[in-house]
Amino acid sequence: MSEPAVQPRRGYSVRTLPGFAVMAVFCFIALYAPIIILVVFSFNAGTSLAIWEGFSLRWYAQAAANEAVQEAAVRSLILASIAATVATVAATMAALATTRTRRFPGRTMIYALINQPLMVPEIVTAVALLIVFAWIKVATGHTSLIYLITAHTAFCIPFAYLPIRARLETMDYTLETAARDLYASPWNVFSRVTLPLMWPGIIAGYMLAFVISLDDVVITEFVKSAGQETLPTFMLGQLRRVVTPEINAISTVILAAGAILVSLFFWLSRGRK
């Protein structure tokens, strides 16, 4: 064959390397097995995390009735909703400012600042926040959720920004030009053309920010005041005690919530291409 083969020959393919498929399948099993075992034992009737004693929902009932869990779950949700909302609004504005433009003075700096939380290890940001917020807390005596909200908003911004920016960069600019040619006011162009077009990106950014806030443990652990446990920090604290399948039940709920949000995120960002 002188022409380059488009389809690899059957039987012998340059695309298969010996042992690679076996390793890959092993990896997929290894990626899911621990999670599946964790989920399975959340339905265990006994107190063991490794010996199956029959199906039961008792640990879910126990977790749902646990006031500490209820409080932490509500706090996590409030925190994630506020942080993700503020972060998405700020990120949308910043994305509008930094895309579809020539280089303007300071663009690289804005870009670097927005992505800064991604570049620094979380533990470093966490202790830096601990220092500053301890100072403010001592000076003002004020201890509300505002510290956690600010901290979460900050590290959610880059996660909300990236999908919104990606959406903006692939959007058809001619539609907005057409609207402008037809004498639409700047506000009308934005609210009737730009915003509806970038909506999937905004929702995707919001989902991502929400998941990131919901999952955060390091920064929350250092910023929270006494009695401000979120679900992840509550679980981290519980690990020091005797672990029962109640932890598995809470974990399973968190996994399910995360999986739904991430699937929605993927579904929304697929429309991009």
Partner 1 sequence: MTDASLHTGPAAGELEREAEQADNRSRWMLSTPAIVIICLAAAGPLMVMVLYSFLTPGDYGNVKWEFSTQAWVNTILQRDIFDDTLMWADAHLSIFWRSLSLSLITTVLTFVFGLPTAWFIATQPPGKKEFWLFLVTVPFWSNLLVRTIAIQELIRAEGVINNTLKFLRIIDEPIQMMFTDFAIAFGMTYVYLPLMVLPIYAAVDKLDFRLVEAAHDLYATRWRTFWRVILPLVKPGIIAGSILVFIPSLGAYVTPRVLGGGKNLMFGNLIELQFGQGRNWPLGAALSLMLMAAVMVALIWYVRVTSRERADV
Q: Is 50 in the site for partner 1 (CB under 8 A)?
A: yes
| H-helix segments, the chain | 20-41, 58-65, 67-98, 107-119, 122-140, 146-169, 173-181, 186-188, 195-215, 218-223, 231-238, 245-270
As a dihedral over the C-alpha atoms of residue 248, residue 208, residue 156, residue 146, rounded to 10 degrees, the angle is -60
Distance from chain centroid for Cα 81? 12
DSSP state of 43: T
**Stretch of 13-21, 58-66, 70-78, 196-204 lying at the interface with partner 1 (CB under 8 A):** 13-21
- In whole angstroms, the minimum distance from the beta carbon of 175 to partner 1 comes to 20
Residue written as tokens 């000076």? 139
211: contact with partner 1 by CB under 8 A: yes
Contact pick of 45, 64, 90, 197 for partner 1 (by CB under 8 A)? 90
Shortest Å, Cβ 97 to partner 1: 4
- Shortest CB 144 distance to partner 1, Å: 15
**132, 178, 195, 260: which one binds partner 1 (CB under 8 A):** 132
Residue tagged 């932490």 (tokens): 72
Q: Does 251 bind partner 1 (CB under 8 A)?
A: yes
* Rounded distance between C-alpha atoms, residue 210 and residue 194, angstroms: 24
120 binds partner 1 (CB under 8 A): yes
Contact between 182 and partner 1 by CB under 8 A: the answer reads no
Q: Closest Cα partner for 164 from 217, 243, 221, 97? A: 97
Q: Counting contacts by CB under 8 A, is residue 267 touching partner 1?
A: no
For the bound state, the minimum distance from the C-beta of residue 61 to partner 1, rounded and expressed in Å, comes to 20
* Binds partner 1 (CB under 8 A): choice among 69, 72, 75, 153: 153
